[in-house]
Amino acid sequence: MENVKGQKNQKWFYTDIVKDHFFRPRNIFRTKEEIERYKADGTGEVGSPACGDVMRIWIKVDKKNDKIIDCKWQTFGCGSAIASTSILSTMVIGMKIEDALKIKPNDIVKELGGLPARKIHCSVLGDKALREALNDYFRKSGQENRIVAQGAKIIDKMLKITDKDIEEAVLEGAKTFEDVQKKTKIGINDKNCIPQVKELIKFYRKKYFRDEK
């Protein structure tokens, strides 16, 4: 439970699942030596220390069955970020790659039993780190044709947030730049992208909701 800065009477309540994965994180790398001994088939990293959250994911793959057989991680960030990455690691172990690629931030939030609105971006980072790790595996194993672009065009160069991510945020109910930023953290560090983000929000609002504003 945390107080929202500037809102004295509002509090965030975390589910027992979130608390469990925060206090007892699964599949986490705790030392540098563990990372050095681990022979990953793919690694992925997203986020920026300047923004507060950095996620790194390492995966091992059963190449014959095209299945993720292990997933390790490190997250530098808040309790929600740690819980999101922890539960994501448990979700993907034993999962076919094609199914792992379909995981969305909402799937992670659902597994956690919910997250405060201001913390949804943590699940977005976990989703992206996993895709980066899988793309790295595809490159290393000569499967470039399977590399999944994180969207048609990267808008926020620091967090690798794309126009597709903005589109999904609008479809989930975001109406303003502030709404999209809460969901994705876009523009926190890469402020040059903000005008383009606002134009894309207008475009998607008009496309899907006939919003002329």
Give yes or no: residues 61 and 122 share one domain: yes
pLDDT band at 7 (very low <50, low <70, confident <90, very high): very low
Helix (H) or strand (E) holding 10: strand 7-12
Give the span between the Cα atoms of 69 and 97, in whole angstroms: 10
Give the span between the Cα atoms of 187 and 166, in whole angstroms: 12
> Domain of 197: which CATH number?
1.10.10.1100
Query: What's the domain count of the chain?
Result: 2
Catalytic status, residue 122:
yes
Is pLDDT of 61 > 60?
A: yes
Give yes or no: residues 129 and 59 share one domain: yes
Is pLDDT of 112 > 50?
A: yes
Q: What is the pLDDT of residue 176?
A: 95
Last residue of a domain, one of 111, 129, 146: 146
Give yes or no: residues 118 and 181 share one domain: no
Q: What's the maximum distance between 2 C-alpha atoms anywhere in the chain?
A: 56
Give yes or no: residues 103 and 87 share one domain: yes
Domain range holding 119?
A: 2-146
At 156-168, the pLDDT tens digits run 888 878 888 888 7
Last residue of a domain, one of 123, 146, 169: 146
> Domain of 67: which CATH number?
3.90.1010.10
∠ at Cα 26 (132, 13), nearest 5°? 95
At 171-200, the pLDDT tens digits run 778 999 999 999 888 999 889 999 999 999
Give the span between the Cα atoms of 213 and 207, in whole angstroms: 12
16: left (phi over 0), alpha (psi -120 to 50) or beta: alpha
Greater pLDDT, 73 or 122 = 73
Give yes or no: residues 65 and 132 share one domain: yes
Weakest-pLDDT range from 63-77, 101-115, 138-152: 138-152
Q: What is the pLDDT of residue 179?
A: 93
| Identified catalytic residue from 51, 71, 78, 193 | 51
Q: Are 15 and 5 spatial neighbours (Cβ–Cβ below 8 Å)?
A: no
Average pLDDT on 89-104 reads: 95
Last residue of a domain, one of 146, 170, 189: 146
Greater pLDDT, 122 or 138 = 138
Average pLDDT on 34-44 reads: 95
Structure tokens at 117: 């609105």
Average pLDDT on 58-79 reads: 94
